[in-house]
């Protein structure tokens, strides 16, 4: 079985994925890291050089590849992955996968992402917390339709990575 972690950027998919993989003795795959290794460029550089449309096509290709190649793996998606190219349907139609939405409040996302926005191509140009809050609010409104179709929804606010990983483990087992 694969466990697919999805949610908005900054919700903790990568960190929680690693901790959960350790707790469940599973492999861990971060889709963005996988894309970077295959493309030999950072996600940031792919966005700069080729644009978002190119990235989303490659993301779909590598998601399919990863889902075929890996079993017994925690797969952490990019924040937009479920929202493009039929990726959510691919995940939902997999018999051996369980999807988990890591739901994080707007304010918590603003606090986390403002500190690391230079590393995030979609928000690197945003200069104030108020503008970032408006951007995330709009994105969450658009993306919540996709995120809420996950099989499980876990709230991440006011919890440590270890607490969230344990909650996911207890929910799935």
pLDDT digits (tens, 9 = 90+) for 33-59: 999 999 999 988 898 899 889 999 999
- pTM, entire model: 0.91
Packed helices 129-147 and 106-115: angle between N→C axes, nearest 10 degrees = 120
The structural domains of the chain, with segments of one domain joined by +, span 2-158
Residues in the chain: 173
CA–CA dist 26, 73 (Å, integer): 5
As given in the structure block, the two tokens for residue 35 are 């894309």
pLDDT score, position 43: 87
Which pLDDT band, with edges at 50, 70 and 90, does 120 fall under? confident
As given in the structure block, the two tokens for residue 107 are 């304010």
Q: Hey, how many other C-beta atoms are within 10 angstroms of the C-beta on 61? A: 13
Superfamily of domain 2-158: P-loop containing nucleotide triphosphate hydrolases (3.40.50.300)
């Amino acid at each position: 079985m694969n466990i697919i972690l999805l949610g908005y950027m900054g919700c903790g998919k990568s960190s929680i994925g690693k901790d959960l993989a350790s707790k469940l003795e599973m492999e861990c795959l971060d889709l963005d890291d996988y894309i970077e290794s295959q493309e030999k460029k950072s996600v940031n550089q792919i966005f700069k050089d080729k644009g978002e449309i190119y990235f989303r096509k490659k993301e779909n290709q590598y998601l399919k590849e990863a889902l075929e190649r890996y079993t017994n793996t925690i797969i952490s998606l990019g924040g937009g992955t479920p929202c493009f190219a039929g990726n959510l349907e691919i995940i939902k139609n997999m018999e051996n996968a369980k999807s988990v939405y890591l739901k994080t409040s707007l304010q918590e996302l603003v606090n986390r992402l403002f500190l690391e926005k230079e590393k995030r191509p979609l928000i690197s140009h945003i200069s104030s917390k108020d503008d970032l809050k408006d951007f995330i609010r709009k994105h969450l409104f658009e993306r919540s339709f996709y995120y809420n179709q996950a099989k499980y929804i876990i709230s991440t606010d006011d919890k440590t990575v270890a607490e969230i990983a344990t909650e996911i483990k207890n929910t799935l087992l």
